[in-house]
Amino acid sequence: MLKHTLLTGEGILILEPSDALEAADFEAMIHDIDPYLAEHESLAGVMIFAKAFPGWLNLEAAISHLQLIKNYHQNIKRLAIVSDNGLLTALPKFAAHMVHPDVKHFSESEYEDALSWLKEARK
């Protein structure tokens, strides 16, 4: 399960995974992102706010996730990983080499700092 919230005024997408990710989670997200990107050049940022990475329900979900990254990473200016989980804390080091957006880690207590950092990308 992946809750997503698009802050259209700020151009920020907030992702909150809670249970194993499903292909339908990514389809629902695309349903909201595409109309926004049709009117705007890019998203200022994406925030992943997670206690831990819950994994994927099945191979279809993993492939949908990878396709989403491939198709949309060029349309994102910044990516904030907000988590105290060890795996997610290390993610920016790897992601920075594979995706377009600037990637930065924030601890869970720095949620508002992460949101401010993403908002700065709109300037």
Residues in CB range of 9: below 8 A, 6 or more apart: none
| Number of domains comprising the chain | 1
Report the CATH number that the domain containing residue 21 is assigned in CATH.
3.40.50
What global pTM score does this model have? 0.88
pLDDT in tens, 23-57: 999 999 999 999 999 999 899 999 999 988 888 99
The pair of three-digit structure tokens given for residue 61, joined into one six-digit string: 């979900």
pLDDT in tens, 65-106: 999 999 999 999 999 999 886 655 655 565 554 566 788 989
Q: With DSSP H G I counted as helix, E B as strand and the rest as coil, what are the percentages for the chain, rounded to 5?
A: 45, 25, 25
- Locate the DSSP E strands across 1-97: 2-7, 12-17, 43-49, 76-82
Instruction: Give residue 97's domain range.
Output: 2-120
Q: Do 44 and 10 form a contact (C-beta atoms < 8 A)?
A: yes
Q: How far is the C-alpha of 102 from the C-alpha of 56, rounded, in Å?
A: 25
